[in-house]
Every structure is written in structure tokens, then in C-alpha cells.
Structure 1
Amino acid sequence: MKISTKNSLLFNLTSILLIISCMFITTPPKTSAKASTKTPDHDLPQYFSSSSPLNTIIKFNNHSSSSPQNKYLLPTFGTDCSVWSRACSEEILKIATKPENVKWIKSLRRKIHENPELAFEEHDTSKLIRKELDELEVSYRFPLAKTGIRAVIGTGQPPFVAIRADMDALPIQEAVEWEHKSRNAGKMHACGHDAHVAMLVGAARILKARQRHLKGTVILLFQPAEEAGNGAKRMIGDGALEDVEAIFAMHITHLLPTSVIGSRSGPLLAGCGFFKAVITGGQGRDAVLAASAAVISLQGIVSRESNPLDSQVVSVTFLNSGDDLDVIPNRVEFGGTLRAFSNTNFHQLLKRIEEVIVAQAKVYQCWGTVDFFRNADTMYPPMVNDNNMYEHMKKSTVDLVGPTNFQVVQPVMGAEDFSFYSEVIPAAFFYIGIKNETLGSVHSPHSPHFMIDEDALPVGAATHAAIAERYLHDRDISIS
């Protein structure tokens, strides 16, 4: 283009100003060829880590402050995560640990803690979650399993990966005296589900901020009734796992220091069931003697029939023959619990418990029946981590928090209804530590003195987000 001499000075000055101004113009992010073609309603502001090149352009959000989502916009950073690097994990953790987000996630957890709700009664908790999702403009389906929620972030296209949190509290009177103590008498979040919900909503914030990086769809499941009622089974029945090919979940633990992640491949939590036996004797038949023999014989199932290196439990926890001291009762009831780390062993225990009780009753010319409450939502299968999902979870976590903050843990006899998901699709369950002796965060779950170190909350949110985002990234590479 030709320019006259008298205008050259003005042109040069204008050019300089244009070059300077261009340094602050937001350019649209590059998208994967497989990404959704839908333009997001809000382009998220981007900042860079201190390790970024000095000549990297900082991008700012151009949307009006009147946008309903504007106050929730979170910074995402400049790393191109089409090739995953530790910088991608660092950016996720930076979002989670920004002071305003730490303050927000603690506040959310405290609101839930103050208003604990029991299984299938989590109406206010569910309403609060949906309010947060609405403000983030995250779509969801409600209700599932009465109060549950299935939220969706990403392209809306395969692959689909799920992350889950449970919402219900326990019928326990809180004994911890603090500002945010339970306001519902006889109810308490004594197992950390308030923290689980806060961390999953926190993950929703992070994933929404990084939505352009998602190479598929993340499903966030907010589940009722983990403690009593097998909420997972009902969520599955209502379509929670529709299109989902893998699922992950996290639980707080007082056995690990704050923010340390722990898990293991294979069996992690036991299958759990309960039984109630009734032994009835006819005229002159001693039902108490028959029941006593059955109780003693049950102990031999584990001690004499099971592999000593494969932990199993059969425990009789009650026996009732009435309170008449001068009459031999013709009816005795007793029962207890059984636990095992594999489905094969668990079902073998069910079979042998019934056989032993019925056979011992016959020895004393009595009749025995056994009820395992199969239709009462009290039976949980073992929680067995899929090897591939465990390795993915471990890899993502170590990249996020460092190898010294990941521990391989031992299996425990506790049960979790997340195991129902693991029976349907590959799954991995892991822990996040909340142990802090200075704060008194040392009590086991289901204790009225239970409390948590809230510093674990942002790390838990980041862990959820990193596992989900990286799963979609690695899955995209494997099928391309």
C-alpha cells in the first residue's frame, strides 16, 4: 500500500498504537478437531504460571460484569494440553487453590454440614447443589434415586467418564462444638459426605473453566443414601451410568495426613451382608442347644475353610431366646454379619452360613431358617478396583500432588455402595487424608467427634478434575 509523505508520521504513530493494543486482544482458543462445535456462552479468562515465557500474551475475559456466571469465572492457563504434561495438572491445582476458591469451597461444605439430611431425605442438599450448577451454567438431570443429580460437562459426545459423591448424613448427635455444628438434632455428617459434595462441586467449577480442554464428557453424580439404602443401585436403575465407560470416587480418611491420596489395585473394601437365623424346636426339643451349636460351628467356616491369607469375617452379634428363666424356649433367634474381599468368597460365605445353621438344627431335631435380607438394601458387594482405572488414578494423582503424597493402602473390612458401580463398569475408589492432630481431625468416621481438616477440600476438587480430564485426554489418544 502506498502512503503519502505528509501522512507517514501519522501512519507510523498509528501503527505503533495498533501493535501495542493488539497485545491485549483476546484471541479465540484453538480447539481439537474432535471437540464440540458449539461455541461456549462464556470464554474464560486465562492467566499463565510463573514458569511461562515472558512474551506470552495474557488473555482477559471480555464479557460484561452483569453476566450471571461472571463471578464464578475461573482462570485457565496457557498450556496446550493436547499433549498432556505436568503443567496441565499444575494449572488444575492452581485454579482449585486460588484464595477465593478455597474460601468458597469451605463455605459450601459448612452450609451442608450445618444441615445434615439422612438417606433419601437430602432435599436441601440437592437443592443447594443444583443452585451451584445453575450458576455455573452446568446442565443436569434431576431427580435420580429421589434426590440424586446427574450433571454433564464437556462436549456431550463420547467418551463419557463419571465422578461421584455421596450426599447423606448419619443419625448421630454431633459432639463437636464449633461455629458450624449440625443444626438438625440427632443428625450429623459424621462420615465426610459434606466434604465429598463440596469437592465434587469444586471439580465442576474447575472442569467448567477448562471445558475447551475436555475431549469428551464428564458426568458428575451426586448420590443419595450411601449409608443406608444402596443409593448407588437406585442411581444405576435411573440411568446414572448411561453411556458411561468408567467411574471414579473419593472418600475422606483420618488415617492419612491432610491431602495425601491413598488407594490400591484390586480388593480395597469388603463385601458386606447381614443374616438372621431362626431355630425352632418341637415338643421337648432344645432350640437353645441347637442355636448354640450352630453359633460355634459358624466360627469354623472362616478358621477351617477359608484361605488364611484371604481375609473373611463371620460374626454372630446377637442371640435372643426370650427372658423366661424356668422354661426351655422352642424358638431362638440369632444373627450377625459377614464380610469378604471377593464376590466368589462372599457368595461362598452366604452358602455355607445357611448350610451350617440348617444342618446343626437338624442334628438336634429342630428346624432352621436363614434370612440374608436380600431385598432390604443391606447387602453390598466387595469394592474391587479395576487395575487400569487404578493405574490411571494413581498416575493422575502423582502428577498433581507429587509421588510423596500418594500411598498404597491396605484393604479394610468397611463397605461402600460405590461397589455397585464397579460391578457394572471399570471403576477406582480412593481416599484423601484429613488427619491433622493440631485441629483434632483424628477421629474415625461414624464418631460423634468426627471432624475434618478443610485444607483437603481444594486438593480433592483438583484431584477429581484431573482424573476426569486426563481420562478423556488419554482415551482420545488411544482411539485416534
Structure 2
Amino acid sequence: MAEPDAAARLTVELTAGLSTADLADFYQDLHRHPELSFREHRTAAKLAGRLKAAGYQVTEGVAGTGVVGVLSTGAGPVVWLRADLDALPVEEATGLPYASAAGGVMHACGHDLHVTWLAAAADALAAARDVWSGTVVVIGQPAEEAGGGAAAMVADGLHERFPRPDVLLGQHVAPGPPGLYPHRAGLVMSASDDVDVVVHGVGGHGSRPEATVDPIVTAAHIVTRLQTVVSREVAARESAVLTVGRFEAGTEHNVIPDRARLALNLRTQDPSVRRRVLSAVRRVVDGECRAAGCPAPPGFEVVSGYPATFNDAGLDAEVAAVHRALFGAQSVIDAGPVMGSEDFSLLAPEGVPYDYWFVTSTPAAVWEAAPGEGLLEKFDAVPGNHSPLFAPDASVLLPGVRTLVSAALSRLA
């Protein structure tokens, strides 16, 4: 295990020769050609090609579009580095010259940056394989946004087919002035659950609502009542967010449909709160449907979920110390746990510590122009992940490579 100062100095040496133009070209190409979850064929091929050229033993097609590269230089720790590949069904509105060429699909969460950082970090570590000993495993994970990618890779033998890690490391681009690297021991990201609800009604003509059971009205009552779950059933000291992300019903102005569909998302940070909120949502849905006289019980399915992400305290302290040595003491902050969620932790075999941190990326001019006095006020005022205006600054390309390289070197012999 390298000392923080030594790992930082070596990181600068190993990445000094990286071409910022090459980083920008690779990143802009990925941004221009985003792909949705489990369809990341081009993105995966681009990453696999870089890894092969650097000398990694590459396995493609893990869980469909996942990529795993392995580079071993001898006895020593096994370090896993991960990036996610997929984009979102968002229409880009950034106006960038390299904006998405795929209508309705955008790298609105920054996974194109993640892949760029990972590919360049893999290049740097491979080019300097004579100065470290151990094994680096590079993972390009599909379908983080859809929620099934990490689990699918594990189901496809990730833990059995590749060297078992001593640590798992990952990072995420985030809003904020460039130059900050938020770290946190313990709880860093929340659990997430997606719930699909189907309200069954009795359809009919809009002129005769008395002959129907209107599922739109019932679903509207459900949406309204759900707002009380967090405000009236979750204590102020606890954290939870409940969002209705989709409401679908009907086909014509004068037709009352026979069903309505809701898509819900729940975010919690405590397992007991998670269970309680899910139970309350189910109770509200069932109760409103019974009160409306629906002809059949509602459909209720938890379709996907992420566990909460808990960084290993010792590992996070080590990686944060390296990042302080690399970027300065004031660059590493603890911004507290976030309500965002990740399936990153599912990649770690049982008992293996992991660490997950952030790299801030809002262009300086955008940050300075944002209203607000402090970090948190401005944070809420700038385009964030999943926004059609999300556009990370190019200045974070090289620092994001160095965060990964330095974290890996802190563990490699």
C-alpha cells in the first residue's frame, strides 16, 4: 500500500503524457453517440478497443454489453475500477457542438465522462506496468440507469470468471465548481425502489361517467395521497423522497379508460424506513382503489431497486488522503449523503470493501453566474445530472483520470 504523497507523485508522472486532445476527442465521440441501457454496443466496443490496445485481456459481452479488462503484473492486490456505459432517454438542449446525434437520447448523467476517465486510467496504468505489482480489473458496466446492469454482470459470472478484488473503486461526475472531490465514509448514496402501479377501472363514454369506474380519478387521488407518506409518516430526523415519475391513462377526449398506470420512485437511507415507506405506498394504493370500487385489485410491482451505498470507512480515508495529496487539502469535502442512488455496490463480492466518490464539473462561468451565496444554494441552481442542459466542463477530463489512477496506486504494491 503506497503512502498518499508517493501515490500522488507517481500519478502525476504516469498521467503527464496523456493527451488532453485525445481525451477530449474520445469523450466528445461518446457524448455524440449515446446508447440506452443494455444497448451500449458501440460504447462497449470503444472501451474494449482501448483496453486491448493497452494490453489488457478483454472479455466482451458480459451481461450482454458489459466489458471486463484484466492486466496483471505479478503478485499483489487486485483492484477493480468501474465505470457505467449507458445514457438516458433525454432530449439534449445544451447546444454543444458535439451534442447527441441520437434524437431523444443523451449522456445526461455523465457516463461518457466515466468511460473516458476509466479508459485513460487503464492506459496510464498499463503504460507504467513496470512500477507497480498486482492486478487491475477494469469494468465497463451496462445499464446503471435501468437498474439491472450490476446484478446482470454478477449473474453472468463476474465474481467467478475474473480475479477476486481486494477493493472496488468508482466515481461519479456531479454539479459543483471544478476542483472538488467529495468523499464520505459510510452512507454516501440512498436506496432506490421503482414501483409500477396499475389501477383497474370500468371504461365507458365520457358523457356517462356514472356507468364507469374512472381509473384516472382514482389514480389522481393516489398521487395526491402519496404526498402525505413522507410528510406525515416519516420522522423529520429520517430521509425519504417519493416521486411519481409517470402517469399514463386514456386515448381520447371523450373516452373514460379502463385502466391507469403510475410509475413511482422511492429514495430512502435506512432499511427500516425503506420497508415502512413501501408498505405505506401499498396501503394507499389498495385503499384508494377499494374506496373507488375498482373491479379488481390494483397491480403493484417493485420492478427494480438499488441498495444504499455504504463506503468502507478505512478505504475511503485512504483514497481521500491520496486525493488531498494530489489536489490539495481543501479539495476533498464531505457534502453529506445524497438521495441519488447507484447499483455500484452490487459489483463487490461479499466482504470486499468499496469506495465511491464524486468529481465536480460545472463550468466556472455557469457556476459564478448561478444565484445563491453558498455551495448548496448554487448547487441547486445549476444544471445537474439528468438535466437536458447537463454539460460538464472539459477541465475535469484529466483530474478525473488522476483520481482513478491515484486511488488504484494507493492499493497496488
Q: Which TM-score bucket, shorter chain as reference? A: 0.7 to 0.9
Instruction: Name the counterpart of 1:188.
Output: 106
Evaluate the alpha carbon distance shift between residue 233 and residue 327 of structure 1 in structure 2; reply closer, same or farther with a 3 A threshold: closer
Q: Of the candidates 103, 112, 115, which is equivalent to residue 30 of structure 2? A: 112
RMSD between aligned alpha carbons? 3.2
Report whether the alignment pairs 1:264 with 2:192. no
* Pair 1:355–1:94, CA change in 2 (3 A): same
User: Partner letter of residue 145 of structure 1?
Assistant: A
Distance 1:158 1:234 in 2: 28
Write out aligned runs for 1:146-157 (5 A): 146-155=64-73, 157=75
Distance 1:229 1:147, change over 3 A: same
- State whether structure 2 residue 58 is matched by structure 1 residue 140: yes
* Offset of residue 248 of structure 1: 1.4
User: TM-score normalised to the size of structure 1?
Assistant: 0.71
The answer to whether the 8 Å contact 2:348/2:354 transfers is yes
Larger RCO, structure (CA 8 Å, separation 6 or more): 2
Summarize the alignment of residues 39-438 of structure 1 with structure 2, pairs less than 5 Å apart: 84=3, 86-98=5-17, 100-155=18-73, 157=75, 159-242=77-160, 243-255=164-176, 257-280=177-200, 294-295=222-223, 297-316=225-244, 333-362=261-290, 366=294, 368-374=297-303, 378-421=304-347, 424=350, 425-438=352-365
In the alignment, residue 54 of structure 2 is paired with which amino acid? L
Percent identity (aligned): 29
CA distance in 1 between partners of 2:58 and 2:42 (Å): 17
For the residue of structure 1 that corresponds to 2:125, the secondary structure is: helix
Say which SS state the counterpart of residue 276 (structure 2) adopts: helix
Structure 1 residues 319, 129: closer, same or farther in 2, change over 3 A? closer
SS at 2:274's partner residue? helix
**Distance in 1 of aligned mates of 2:100 and 2:250:** 39
1:109-151 superposed Cα distances (whole Å, 9 cap, x missing partner):
1222232222222222222222222221122222212221111
Mark the CA change 1:229 to 1:281 in structure 2 (over 3 Å): closer, same or farther. Answer: closer
CA contact (8 A) 1:268 1:411 kept: yes
Equivalent-residue separation in structure 1 for 2:309 and 2:12 (angstroms): 28
Report the TM-score when normalising by structure 2.
0.81
In structure 2, stretches of 5+ residues that fail to align are 203-209, 369-381
User: Per the alignment, do residues 318 and 198 of structure 1 end up closer, same or farther by CA in structure 2, a change over 3 Å counting?
Assistant: closer
- Provide the rounded CA distance (Å) in 2 between the counterparts of 1:338 and 1:468: 34
Structure 1 290/117 Cα, relative in aligned 2: closer, same or farther at 3 Å? closer
Q: What amino acid does structure 1 have at the position aligned with 2:142?
A: P
Q: Which runs of 5+ in 1 are unaligned?
A: 1-81, 474-480
In the TM superposition, what is the alpha-carbon distance from 1:217 to its structure 2 partner? 1.5
SS at match of 2:391: coil
Deviations 1:81-121 (A, max 9, x none): x76351331221233244x5323222221222232222222
Q: Does the CA contact (< 8 Å) of 1:221 and 1:240 recur in 2?
A: no
3-state secondary structure, aligned to 2:82? strand
Contact 1:285 1:364 in 2 (8 A): no
| Deviation of 1:200 (Å) | 0.7
Question: By how many angstroms is 1:388 displaced?
Answer: 2.5
Distance 1:398-1:333 versus aligned 2 partners, 3 A rule:
same
Q: How many residues align?
A: 387
Paired with 2:31 and 2:223, the residues of 1 have a C-alpha distance of 42
1:435 is aligned with what amino acid? Answer: T
3-state SS of paired residue (2:166): strand
Greater Cα radius of gyration, structure 1 or 2: 1
